[in-house]
Amino acid sequence: MSDIKQDTDKITKIAWALMTASVENKLDVPGEYLWNIPASNDFNEIRSKTWSVYSSGNCIKDKNLIDFTDGVNLNKHLRDPWTVKKFEEYFPVWVKQCPRFRFKGIDDFKYSCFSQGSQEYFLNFYITHRNKRFRLFKGEYWWHMEVWKKLGLNWAYIEDDNLDANDVVIISCPFARLGDEHPQQKELLEQCEKIGIPVMLDFIYLPNATFDKIQIDLTPTCIKSLSFSMSKTFPVANARVALRMTRESIKDPMQISNDENVANRLASGLGLECMQKFNVDYMVEKYQTEQQHWCKLLGLKPTKVVHFALGDPYTDMGRKNNKRFFSEFNDQQNRYNLGPLFANKNLLQKLGYYEN
């Protein structure tokens, strides 16, 4: 990041301000996960939590969306046997409504299946391909490697070995660590198509992508499934709202549950109401100027995901001690999540950190 003068001191002070405000219950939008909610204003407690302020991949805690979801009547969806089907049918329509998205071949993915968060369709992908070797780029979502290690599944980074016919691939687009398309994505898909390697294309950050036009070629037959989640787009992560689209109907545990009509109606109903109220571009339209503002102020480089920026690790000491949040495989330390700054704009203005 040599071309950018990063203000690490200001970045750190803001993190301390947010964690101190959390203890005092003064955040505009309170935290929702125990790992970033300090239990006290003890120095070491605050310090440990400041490391987590920018490290999450979670969505922007938008107040309008939170107010909306607080008012949704979920009981009506619990009683509606068609709720999950409505969600599955409307999600592809909602995504394709974005004028910036150009999906070539998306209509070939005719089968939509509700998923309780991205982790459910990942687990079903693991089950389906349990006898193969899983492959991904370094910097991908750490949860994959952590689960594979715990389950004793065979896996390797794409950078560390050649692809072969017994491999399966997962790649996020935009890529998790970069907030942009991985520079080797096109080459990877060409190799997978040539060898016949199944690919899951993970679009978890796509709704928050700021590309002027997103050209995505889904015609390679190696791409077997597309995965979407609302967790990184809207503040509904703990409701577990996601969707998988496939070329063929897959009779895995997730699909069997949907066929039995025992899938989560509360989650799918909430997701459906969010889509009907907010367009897929909502976060980009509302926060892109905020991303530019904070990147300029803090000396960070904006990515093509609206709540992400790139910079040098702001806690050098923690990083040099190999600090990894949750997992040894969490290799996203140069990516900053600006969402907590967006969500607490009023507080940061009062404290004098929001400079014009």
Mean pLDDT value across residues 20-47: 84
Q: Which domains does the chain show, CATH number per domain?
A: 8-64+281-350 (no CATH), 73-277 (3.40.640.10)
Q: What is the pTM of this model?
A: 0.91
Q: What is the pLDDT of residue 51?
A: 78
Confidence category of residue 145, pLDDT binned at 50, 70, 90: very high
Q: Are the C-beta atoms of residues 105 and 124 closer than 8 Å to each other?
A: no
Q: What is the pLDDT of residue 339?
A: 94
As a whole number of angstroms, the distance between CA 231 and CA 208 comes to: 11
Please report which helix (H) or strand (E) contains residue 51, including its range.
none
- φ, ψ of residue 127 to 5 degrees: the values are -65, -45
Q: What is the pLDDT of residue 57?
A: 83
Tokens of 303: 């990515």
As a whole number of angstroms, the distance between CA 203 and CA 229 comes to: 8
Confidence category of residue 318, pLDDT binned at 50, 70, 90: very low
Q: What is the pLDDT of residue 3?
A: 62
Give the three-state DSSP class for 226. Answer: strand
Tokens of 84: 């999950």
> Angle at the Cα of 344 (from 117 to 27), degrees rounded to 5?
90
Q: What is the mean pLDDT of the chain?
A: 90
Mean pLDDT value across residues 312-327: 59
Percent of the chain whose pLDDT exceeds 70: 94
Confidence category of residue 328, pLDDT binned at 50, 70, 90: confident
Q: Which residues pair with 101 in a beta bridge?
A: 214
Tokens of 270: 């909430």
Nearest to residue 208, comparing CAs of 273, 141, 143, 288? 288
pLDDT at 255 over 50: yes
pLDDT at 213 over 90: no
Q: Are the C-beta atoms of residues 331 and 142 closer than 8 Å to each other?
A: yes
Q: What is the pLDDT of residue 154?
A: 97
Q: What is the pLDDT of residue 43?
A: 87
308-310 vs 335-337, strand pairing mode: antiparallel
